[in-house]
Amino acid sequence: MDYQEKQISADYKYHGAVVSLRVDQAQLPDGQIVQREVVEHHGGVGIALEDEDGKFFVVTQWRYAQNMTTLEFPAGKREPGEDDLTTASREIIEETGYEGTDFKYLGYIIPTGAYDSEQIGMYYAKKGKFCGQYLDSDEFLNISRMSLEELTEGIVAGRIPDAKTIAMTFLIKEMKGKNRK
């Protein structure tokens, strides 16, 4: 069966710096016409940066939309037209102050597939030289380091609910377990 829904029309309701919102009319495989609300997002990346002691850089920051402080791997928005590796290289320096080396692409996740176009590219990298942190003017975060086991424990205990951090932690555990570092 072909599951594809065909866009008939798109009505943009909002264009912002981070997202745009449109309301579409779409045709289902059986011919039925339905309304679909779509949040358009440029996407982003998450970076698991490992230091020489086997610990990973994590950031603690306020997430306004969730009204809570989160602990997560460094991440950032992709600029329009920017590829994921360029975004990852830029964001890891901005947030941690360290260059990433030996980047390995882990794949991508779709955090909210029902209505949001966002895709997050996931990367693993080794800590390189210190270049200095360059946070955005509206960005406040604290950097710490955690082992893979501490991250796993935090996820299982419900203290780390961030989707990219959960996915990346388990992908890296699997990768390291199979010696594909």
Q: What is the pTM of this model?
A: 0.92
Host domain of residue 76 = 44-177
Do 90 and 20 share a domain, yes or no? no
Q: How many domains does the chain divide into?
A: 2
Does residue 134 share a domain with residue 85?
Answer: yes
Per 3-state DSSP, the chain is made up of helix, strand and coil in percentages (nearest 5) of 20, 45, 30
Average pLDDT (43-65) is 97
**Same-domain pairing of 95 and 130:** yes
SS3 154: helix
Return mean pLDDT, the chain: 95
Q: Are residues 55 and 37 in the same domain?
A: no
For residue 174, pLDDT over 70 is answered with: yes
Q: What is the pLDDT of residues 136-159, one digit of tens each?
A: 888 899 999 999 999 999 999 999
With cut-offs at 50, 70 and 90, classify the pLDDT of residue 180. low
66 and 117 assigned to the same domain: yes
d(CA 4, CA 27): 9
